Structures are given as C-alpha cells and as structure tokens.
Amino acid sequence: MSVFIKICGVTRPEEIRWAAAAGADAVGFVFAPSRRRITLETARALSAVCPHPLRVGVFKDCAAELINAYTRTLNLDYVQVHGRISGALEQSSAGLIRALTPGPDMLTDPLARRADYLLLDGSSPGSGRPFPWEEAAGLLAGLREAGQRLPPLIIAGGLTAANVKRALQVFRPAGVDVSSGVEVDGVKSRTKITEFVQTVRRWEKCLSSAYPMKTVTSAPLAAASSPKP
C-alpha cells in the first residue's frame, strides 16, 4: 500500500496543482495561527481548483464549533487537530487526524483514542525542526509491547527530500506530512514538492522490490477517489 503524502500549508491555486501533478494524496489548509494561515474564503476558492488531492483542515486551540462549521462549509476530507479544543466534534464524513508531540502519555489524550490517524510532530509545528525520531520510535515500540493500540501514524516535523527516507525507515508510517521542507524562502516550490514525492515513491518501490510480500506496517489513509465514508 502506498504511503500517504500530504503537502501542508498551501495558499495558492498553483500549489494544489503542483501537489496533484506530483502525485501527493492531500493538501493541508491551515486555519491555525501561522504565516501559512488562510481564510475560509481563500480555502473555498482553493477547494474549487481540482477534486484531487484530498483536503485536510488544520486547526489548533479552538472551539469545536468552528471546526464543525469549516468542515461542513468546505466538505473537508479530514480535520487535523493540534492542541486543545473546547466542545465536541460532531459526527461527519471527515476523518480525524490527531496531532501530538511524542510522549509516554499521548494515548491518554481523548482525541487520540478516537482518531483515525495519529500525526507525530515537534513542539513547534511548521518550524521545520524534526523531533527526536529514534527516541520516539523506542517510545512507540514500548507502547505496543505494553499492549497499547496505536492508530496508523503520520510523521511530520522538519521533513525534506533529504531526510524523509530515514523517517520512513525508522517509523514505517502510514503517511508523511511536509510543509517548510518543500519551500524556498517561505514559498512552496514545485521542484521541491516533486522531489519530495518522488523520493517517497522511490523508497516504496525499493521496499517492495526487496520485500515483495511485505508492505508498510501502518495502513495508509483512504485514496483520493474514496474519501472516508
């Protein structure tokens, strides 16, 4: 199964076209405080660019009512939640991606327990700084050995075409999420987006050639043609 690739923090129509052309599975609309933050109106316009990739709304420390409203208005495929939210997320067709910094108590988080996917990021999302991968991988292994059920993983935080292969080797995740790693001077680069996606796909091809009966250990997110029911 293919590794899910998300290009986060898109702000312009051409960035969505580049992501789609490169073969990325999703783009992220950031509604949390960030230099990549966009308005609801901008997100609506970007959503009309093309039906693929999937659309993920990124939220942080806000009311569930806001997330619910944006999900309905934009018909989001997934909501990605950082920090705390007040209120209850309503049942919808959108899947839930819970973003957390790796830690021994992360599975006590109520949203993590109900999430479709667990996104691991550093303490400053969007900063371009990776978290300690080997330390986190050891923590995850310990949780699994203790009988804890982990949602499929998405790895974020400081990924680039130069280091994503190492992240894939360490975690064997369901997906990877990149933002600053495909930018030049703070602006998304078509060349870097394409290079990043191609690096992931080459890794997949090498893995399947070396281990033809094996796939990545976490199930990938739904394909763009079949969003979560």
Asked if residues 129 and 165 have their Cβ atoms less than 8 Å apart, the reply is no
How is residue 163 annotated by DSSP? T
Interatomic CA distance for residues 162 and 182, integer angstroms: 11
Can you state the angle between helices 190-210 and 13-22, rounded to 10 degrees?
A: 20
Q: What share of the chain is helix, strand, coil (3-state, %, to 5)?
A: 35, 20, 40
Told to judge if 8 belongs to the known catalytic residues of this protein, a careful annotator would answer yes
Q: How far is CA 83 from CA 78, 80, 112, 121, 124, in A?
A: 16, 10, 11, 12, 11
Told to judge if 121 belongs to the known catalytic residues of this protein, a careful annotator would answer yes
Interatomic CA distance for residues 67 and 96, integer angstroms: 11
Question: Which tokens sit at 203?
Answer: 């890794």
**What's the count of helices (H) and strands (E) in the chain, helices before strands?**
7, 10
**From the candidates 62, 121, 177, 185, which is the catalytic residue?**
121
Interatomic CA distance for residues 141 and 133, integer angstroms: 12
**From the candidates 8, 25, 62, 77, which is the catalytic residue?**
8
Interatomic CA distance for residues 24 and 178, integer angstroms: 11
Residues marked as catalytic = 8, 121
